[in-house]
Amino acid sequence: MDTSGQPFAFFPEGMHHKLGESHCGAGVSVGKNSIGVYEHSANFLSCVLFADVPVPPESRIAVVYRDNVPSIWLNGKLVAQAKSPSKRSAHIPQRHRSSFDGTLKDVILSPTALSAEEIAADSRRKRGDGEDAVNPRLRVKGGKLFAEFFGKGKIDAVMSDGTPLSLEVSSVYGPLEIKPPFDVEFNPAMGAPKSVKFGKLESWTDNKDAGVKNYSGTAIYRKTFNLPSIYAAPDVRAYIEVDCVAEIAKFSVNGKPAGTMWKPPYRLDITRLLKPGENSLEISVANTWVNRCLYDASLPPEKRLTWSNTMNIHYPPIGLKNPSPMAWSQGALQSGLIGKMKVRFSKIVSAQ
């Protein structure tokens, strides 16, 4: 199916490449008068659900897979639902489409299906400038109950003994953007320059340097940023977030490991690693072998950096007649850290 003209907000990834043909990637197409859900698997890229409805500006759209049955919600109301489950295990998209001719804000990628009540509540929630949607959470740690708020909010609950509980905050610190430039180190043995300064976080495939554009391997991003002392309060937690990671990133803060990002939401708790004043980041990011293999297929054999006994099957030389049906057909894959990086803050309220 030709989808070149579709206004994809989230493009459906070909999950069959990673997990097998019983899996598919789900994506969303949004226009002024329609919303479509697409699925992508082996020899399959098609619209599986369509809502023919006007989409006003600032609309809140939800696509939910419950028991593998997709549904579309617009501003808290159900507007379309499939009659039967998808034939493949559907997976949520990992990144938004950079070419989408619109504005995406307050994106939630939930690992569980939201209920009708949660969708309606999300559509009613007032959003401030730059505020992202992260729901407040009730947690238990060390036998103590507390709530974590990412914005102004209130939680009302009833304890097991019937005691009512109400926890509330009036404000939370807004996010702190970690702005470019970033110093990025590549492996010259894989055709890229050793050091590049990135003026923005974009896919390596968008870089003008051919060595970076077609790079496969690991690159190291380095950056220092300042944390004002007001953020170091004992009831404040801090999370580092990136809009998109392709494919996997290992974070260190002030020389100490912070964790790994490989699936949305791309977020790590770095509270214990931060300090007032200057902080340093080091991020090792790795992509797949695909991009360099595709590039090598366009070069004479003596200039190629990659080799495999199946290279001519999966990455045949450009212009080869009758290439194998197993040849890679998805093009170059987005790679690196993409979008914005920020530190998001939450506020802890104890129930005791």
What is the reported pTM?
0.71
Q: Provide the phi-psi class of 69: left if phi over 0, else alpha when psi is between -120 and 50, else beta.
A: beta
Here the contacts of 258-265 (C-beta below 8 Å, separation 24 or greater) are 263/94, 264/92, 264/94, 264/95, 264/109, 265/109, 265/241
Average pLDDT for 25-44: 90
Q: Provide the phi-psi class of 250: left if phi over 0, else alpha when psi is between -120 and 50, else beta.
A: beta
Which pLDDT belongs to residue 168?
87
- Angle at CA of residue 210, ends 204 and 216, nearest 5°: 50
| pLDDT at residue 265 greater than cutoff 50 | yes
* Structure tokens, 271: 């509270």
Average pLDDT for 297-308: 88
CA dist list (Å): 14 to 25, 221, 281, 336: 6, 28, 32, 19
Which pLDDT belongs to residue 124?
82
Given a contact cutoff of 8 angstroms between Cβ atoms, the answer to whether 137 and 148 are in contact is yes
| pLDDT at residue 131 greater than cutoff 70 | no
The confidence band for 347, taking pLDDT boundaries of 50, 70 and 90, is very high
Average pLDDT for 203-207: 92
* Structure tokens, 46: 């098609």
pLDDT tens, residue by residue, 167-196: 888 888 999 999 999 999 999 999 999 999
* Structure tokens, 40: 């992508």
pLDDT exceeding 90 applies to what percent of the chain? 49
Q: CB-based contacts of 182: which residues, under 8 Å, 6+ apart?
A: 197, 198, 201, 221, 222, 223, 337
| pLDDT at residue 132 greater than cutoff 60 | no
The confidence band for 309, taking pLDDT boundaries of 50, 70 and 90, is confident
* Structure tokens, 166: 């109400």
* Structure tokens, 235: 């009831």
